[in-house]
Structures are given as structure tokens and as C-alpha cells.
Amino acid sequence: MLRHRLVFLRHGETDWNAEGRLQGRQDIPLNAKGRGQAADAGRIVLNILGPRGLASPDLAFLASPLGRARETMEVAREAMGLPRTGYTLDDRLMELTFGEWEGLTWPEVKARAPEAASWREGDKWRFTPPGGESYEMLTQRIEPWLAELDRPAVVVSHGGVARALMARIGGMPTQTAALADIWQGRALVFLNGRFDWV
């Protein structure tokens, strides 16, 4: 069980999100709506933690190195009244990779690889796309990061990482977590073996 509060923000919207494309490790920038969502998320964090909480030297700010996560962190920090800099990047927080499927929409995947798409729909948690990564593999990747997290944190990452955290520290069954909606412009707060959307 995580001993400290973890405030998780998914990156804001990109054009590929709007088009329903699988982004994975592709470095797609935020669009205007995504920058607005990042600012909204920052104001939510300010409301959750307050100015004193944000100023605490014990509070860590961590982000995926992908550009959409970095920009979300910087816009959110600005909305919190903090400098845009002042956070740490961690490769383990990157989105899972969809391998050969990156850049495709789900209807395109189903048309090109109907059997593999059917397998994924049957077990989204454990299915590994060709050249990609499963949610189960992603969860194993973030285990060492979670073990090192020894203080409260604000984290900007991706939908796959949020689902892994919901299952690993939030108590959600893996198959349910794999299908969970992960909102942009909101905060997902983990504490004491549970989570809440704010």
C-alpha cells in the first residue's frame, strides 16, 4: 500500500487523442484544448493541496519524458502559481508502447489485424500488441518506481500508467482497470489503498 498521497494527472488532449489514434511512445504535442485541460488540472491540484502543501519541500513533482506530459506538467505548475521548471523526469512513467499499432485508430487495427484485435478485446490487461507492451508488463515496469516513492507526489503521465496504478495501488481488478476511462483535465488521487477522481 502506498504510504503517501499520489496526485496523478493524465496529460492533456493531443490531436491524436481527438482522432482516437493509439499514441504509445509517439511524441505528439498537446493541442489547444489539451493546454486548457492542463491548466484546469493544475488549479485542481492547487485546490487539493493548497499553497502550503505545494510549497512543502517533501512534495515531489514527477513526469513522463514524453513531450505531452512535460508540457502538461509545466502548464499545470504555472496554474498552481509555481515556476514551470522544478520537476523530475522518469522514463518508467512513459506510456505503454503499442508497437506496430501506434498511429492507428482502433477500427484500423481491427481491419488490419482482426484476430489480434479480438484477443486484445478478450484480455486487454495481458495482451501484448506486436512489438508492444501489455498493461501487465507496464505494471511490472513501474513497480521499482513505486517502491522508491517515499514522499507525497504530483505525477503527470499517461492513461496506461493510470490504469496500472488503479490496479496496483488502488485495489481495482485488472480487467476492470484495463477498461477504465482516464480523464484529462482532472486529478486522480491515490491514498490508503483507494483512489478518487477530483
> Of residues 11, 71, 74, 102, which has the active-site annotation?
11
- If one counts every other C-beta atom within 10 angstroms of the C-beta of residue 146, the result is 15
Q: How does residue 1 score in pLDDT terms, banded at 50, 70 and 90?
A: low
Residue-range domain boundaries for the chain? 6-197
**What are the grid coordinates assigned to 142, written together?**
513501474
Neighbouring residues of 140: CB distance < 8 A, sequence distance ≥ 6: none
The 10s digit of each residue's pLDDT in 16-69 is 999 999 999 999 999 999 999 999 999 999 999 999 999 999 999 999 999 999
Active site residue 95: yes
Task: Annotate 12-33 with b (16+ C-beta within 10 A) or e (fewer).
Answer: bbbebbeeebbbbbbebebbeb
| List 71, 95, 102, 133, catalytic entry | 95
Please check the confidence at residue 73 and state whether its pLDDT lies above 70: yes
- In this predicted structure, the answer to whether residue 170 has a pLDDT above a threshold of 70 is yes
Residues 22 and 95: their CA atoms lie apart, in Å, by 11
pLDDT single digits (tens) 183-193 = 999 999 999 99
Q: What superfamily does domain 6-197 belong to in CATH? A: Phosphoglycerate mutase-like (3.40.50.1240)
According to the model, what pLDDT value does residue 3 have?
Answer: 83
